[in-house]
Chains A and B, each alone.
Chain A
Amino acid sequence: MLAVSINAAIGRGAILLGLLTCLSGIAITLAGIRKHDLRALKSAPRYAYVAFAAALLAFIMMERALITRDFSMKYVQQVGSRDTPAIFNLTAAWSALEGSILLWLLALTGLIAAVARKFRARVGDELLAWAMVVLFVVGLFFFSLSFGPANPFAMGALGVNDGPGPNPLLQNHILVLFHPPILYIGYVGFTVPFAFAMAALITGRVGEGWLLETRRWTLYAWGFLTVGIILGSWWSYEVLGWSGVWAWDPVENASFLPWLTGTAYLHSVLVQERRGMLRVWNLSLVIATFSLTILGTFLTRSGVINSVHAFSEGSVGPWLLTFFAVIVVVAIVLIGRRGDQLRSPGAIDSPISREGAFLANNVIFSVFAFVVLLGTVFPLIVESLNDRRIVVGEPFFNRMTMPLGLTLLFLMAIAPVLPWRKASQEVLRDRLFWPAWCGVGALAVSVFVGAEGWASLAAFALGGFAAGAALRQIALASRRQGWRGVVGRANGGMVVHIGVIIIAVALSASSSYTRTQEFVMKVGETVTFSGHTFTFEGLSLETDDVKTSVKAAVRIDGEAVYSPARSKYLKQGMDIGTPSVKTGLVNDLYITLEGNVRPSDTEARIKIFVKPLILWLWIGGALMAIGTVLAAFPGKRRQPTAPVSADTATSAHNVNDHV
């Protein structure tokens, strides 16, 4: 073993190169802006490419260190192991703090390089130049983090020849390969609209230009964040053994917060594009979304909050908190400076209009984000002020967010049918007729199949109402535009809405109507639960290099055998339960093996969860992803002279739908 690892030396060198490149990128671009030097500005993309190459090289060296089991490195000592399967050895690169920052850096510099390439022909534009400066500053911060307090290439203790491997929860499901990178791309994706927003504030070009430049970047970032969150829920469901998909864990909340503000922004930006209004609000939402990704990173990686997801306490906390504070202060100062220019020229004529509904949607999303943020940080506030520890958990979040979620479903039903500017009663009556009957139909079906409880019934009814409105829009658009009726921002957005509605209904059903029973079963015994038979056929032992697993064989309805297990991870000494799930369109049968169990036992505690509509969560998530891609494609162009709102004076039948 070398005293200095080649992986560590090259990796650290690459980080230093990236850091210096970002610093040079900032200096050269600023000089170019100041002296109006086009040659200097034209060189900015090259710095972006070099920064990306540096981050990529550092990441490759980390993977190489893990693959070659370079135990001279502290990080490999911490998360590497000679016995870890190849795929989890690969994902070990982001299974602890320093490596996860490295992955973040790779995604961020990749994005900066993509922006530089996309806009390379227009680098002389001051707005773009300032956006590049902001992107380089964010890059510089993360390179500094990786070079300083979160150094992944630090040398470890001498004489170490093996390590414990990643946390067992990070090496028993393939989703560890997809969930973190996709989530990170979503997180860092919001850096682009943030950079352009800051550039707009700095240059004073606070009109709609920056919005149009970043429209698709924002949409893709939101799409990745959405898919990342859905995959995280799926992973939690498949791995943790409590049969849930969302626990309002602080780290889950950290990813949900920018999603909420990002979703609010995607709606309110339409008002600015169409009417030139809400400039300050949109800038604030973009800045809040980016700031919340940094705050979320702080919560996840500083050790201030206990979470099953959180990394152990590190020294990155003060850095992240300072960066968060700097962003907020600089943004407030810039918005204050541009106060006069940001004043919107127009007015919203009526609350009963598309823009009125978007405003209401934004209020609800903002309050939703506030509730999630407050619930997440409240234990910290209480501990620092009252020196007392409290826990804020699922019951608080469910109670506070349920009315907000129902209100959003209602707005999802109303907003798509409202015209811009003003809606008459006739228009509303005409456009809401079928969606409202869809809601009544959904409620009737729910009552018919035995649903109970006002909150769930309201969710199903509003879900039907909102789905009716979305389907109506798609049907009208398809009639006018053929296959393009599902393409474009408005139409793709309706596909996303249907995905959200399916998720809302599935979440409501699974949280309200899950049935559970624990059985102590002898070998050969059959029990009947919720219309299904479960036969316990015995226990078996499986051993590999990493773990020893005791598996139960449970035959469901006399057909296939399902095998929930309890595994002891040898190096960590951790006991992990792994559920087994029979997936169905109506119900999932989710089985876990409970308690301490030995393969020689003749009885076992088997817990059975019957979970309705879980499969529809993933179907809804897939629809949201598909809708996002459809929304990114250009839809049918409106004629420049086409009216943007309905003529409220005419009868409802003569009114065209303007999507």
Chain B
Amino acid sequence: MFDRRLVQNFDWSLLSLAFILGFLGLVTLYSSVTAGTQVPQMEYYKQLVWYFVGLIFLVISFLFNYKIFDRWGHIIYILCISILVGVLIFGEGSKGAMRWLKFGLFSIQPSELVKIAVIIIMARYYSKHANTTGLTLRELINPFLLTIIPFILIVKQPDLGTAILIVLIAGSMTVFIKIERRSFLYLILSGVISIPLVWFFLREYQKARILTFLDPDRDPLGTGYHIIQSKIAIGSGMISGKGFLKGTQNALSFLPEQHTDFIFSVLAEEWGLIGSVIILIVFLILIIKGLNVAYRCREPFGTILSVGITAMIFWQVIINIGMVMGLLPVVGVTLPFISYGGSSLITVMICIGLLINVSMRRFMVE
């Protein structure tokens, strides 16, 4: 039974944002992988393919009523966790990390998809337990377990960036739902006490690694150097940028992983402050639109789901751009739509699809 209101309520602006960001991503990627050579590299065409695959996933994600995710959320979650375990056992290593499942030419990174699974299962739980006085410690036990399991499995891969993201997403959803005041104080207090305790038990090299993580300057030949090069690239763009394909830092392979985590530096060098601010504003509009979907939705699961998805996009943008500008520690977090990588792109496309889904079915409550 097809409802005409579905079409009337379709959120074209969200779809357009996905197109705009996808286009900007492809342009930047073209520049970053063409650097130093005359022809674009394999990665560009691969990403083009991923982009169309992503669009298909986007459409699938809004075709069916999102309520089915409420019903099947726990199954999706268990499935994703099993895949994570499978990756640890059978995964394809890259630079010593086990995070890929290979399908012929393409490989996917299941930890990306786990982000969606966690958002769904948290929304499912909170939509049944939310109340105005806030969540008590007892009610927080389940969300804690649901977060910590994928966290540990992903840290093991090791993919610290995605693991931290999962905690941030789950944490943002929890804070949005509100924690009861006394429980909140307990949590803060136990955190304050446990950090020095944990620090005391860490070995010297582990402490050194954490300190380097927080302060890349301690590693002037590795991360510290990357950050300097990234800052030079961004700063040298100045107001109007050096122009498309004119970035020099990029062309000389001075930037590490320039087409994945450090792609924003390429963009900022070539398009300057003007281009950078424009892309930030597009992201800002996307995030506000996401919160607006949550605002207009009239039932808890849809609201919390939208908040979770928006939190994911928000944190990825802030962490990635904050990192390349030297504001935040360097972790492997991709910039949605812009960074190279199929799994990351498909995940964010599914997320946009889900937002459209919640938005177009807002009239269906009661």
Verify that A and B bind, or say they do not.
Answer: no
The residues of A with any CB-CB pair to B shorter than 8 Å are none
